[in-house]
């Protein structure tokens, strides 16, 4: 999987550390880290929680127009 730089950027835009975002959405810091690094494949529920915390939608952070 590819790095999620959009997530990283949106988080930075809200001035949140991985730790703080993790607390907001109720997962561990390592989980946020792994998602940003593209090391895994979160569930839709977690994606939604992240998007709500950052005031964006799924398409903003998790959709690529052209991907295989």
By the criterion CB under 8 A, which residues form the site for a second copy? 1, 41-45, 47-48, 51-52, 57-59, 62-64, 67
Query: Environment class of residue 47 by beta-carbon count within 10 Å: exposed (0-12), middle (13-18) or buried (19+)?
Result: middle
Q: How far apart are CA 7 and CA 51, in angstroms?
A: 9
Binding site for DNA (CB under 7 A): 17-20, 26-31, 33-37, 40-43, 45-46
Q: Are 38 and 67 in contact (CB under 8 A)?
A: no
Structure tokens at 43: 């569930």
28 binds, among DNA, a second copy, none (CB under 5 to 8 A by kind): DNA
CB of 51 to a second copy, least distance (A): 8
Nearer to a second copy, 19 or 63 (CB): 63
The whole-angstrom separation of Cα 42 and Cα 20 is: 18
User: From the CB of 19, what's the least distance to DNA, in Å?
Assistant: 6
């Amino acid at each position: 999987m590819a790095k999620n730089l959009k997530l990283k950027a949106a988080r930075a835009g809200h001035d949140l550390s991985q730790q703080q975002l993790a607390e907001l959405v109720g997962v561990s810091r390592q989980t946020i880290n792994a998602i940003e690094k593209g090391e895994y494949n979160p569930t839709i529920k977690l994606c939604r929680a992240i998007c709500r915390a950052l005031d964006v939608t799924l398409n903003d952070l998790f959709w690529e127009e052209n991907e295989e």
